[in-house]
């Protein structure tokens, strides 16, 4: 945990520091997902830049990996339940000088892009009733 992130979260007041830290962890994860990571010692350039949509996809992927089916619960606890909330976090980090943007990047790039709850939970195959699985195996 970086002290400046805690201070930024307290100053912002909308989201806890964990949400800000998670976005910062999701950035290199996203860059790896899309083949845009910088090598050690390499200067970060525009070719390493990820779009708002790409970052949101990386955030959801990392959340599924780290939190599994609890990802929507964690995000709700943070008060970050939709793509716009993560846009607010990203732009608070930009305004604080922690992240950088291009001249084309806008907060609107995060506006209602997809249903985060659906993305975080789809693909999990759970039985609603454990007896159902046993009945079908006879």
pTM for the whole structure: 0.85
| Number of domains making up the chain | 1
pLDDT in tens, 123-135: 776 555 545 444 4
- Residue numbers of the domain that contains 76: 3-136
pLDDT in tens, 78-99: 999 999 999 999 999 999 999 9
pLDDT in tens, 9-67: 999 999 999 999 999 999 999 999 999 887 777 676 778 899 999 999 999 999 999 99
Contact 11, 3 (CB under 8 A): no
In the three-class reduction of DSSP (H, G, I as helix; E, B as strand; rest coil), residue 8 is classed as helix
> What are the CA-CA distances from residue 129 to residues 3, 8, 16, 122, 134 (Å)?
46, 45, 36, 18, 10
């Amino acid at each position: 945990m970086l002290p400046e992130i805690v201070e930024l979260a307290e100053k912002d007041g909308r989201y806890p520091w964990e949400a800000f830290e998670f976005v910062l962890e999701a950035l290199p994860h996203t860059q790896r997902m899309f083949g845009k990571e910088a090598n050690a010692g390499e200067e970060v350039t525009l070719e390493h830049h990820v779009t708002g949509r790409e970052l949101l996809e990386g955030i959801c992927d990392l959340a599924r990996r780290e939190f599994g089916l609890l990802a929507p619960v964690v995000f709700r606890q943070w008060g970050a339940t939709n793509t716009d909330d993560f846009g607010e976090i990203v732009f608070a980090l930009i305004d604080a000088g922690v992240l950088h943007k291009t001249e084309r990047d806008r907060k609107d790039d995060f506006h209602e892009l997809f249903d985060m709850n659906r993305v975080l939970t789809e693909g999990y195959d759970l039985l609603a009733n454990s007896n159902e699985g046993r009945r079908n195996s006879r």
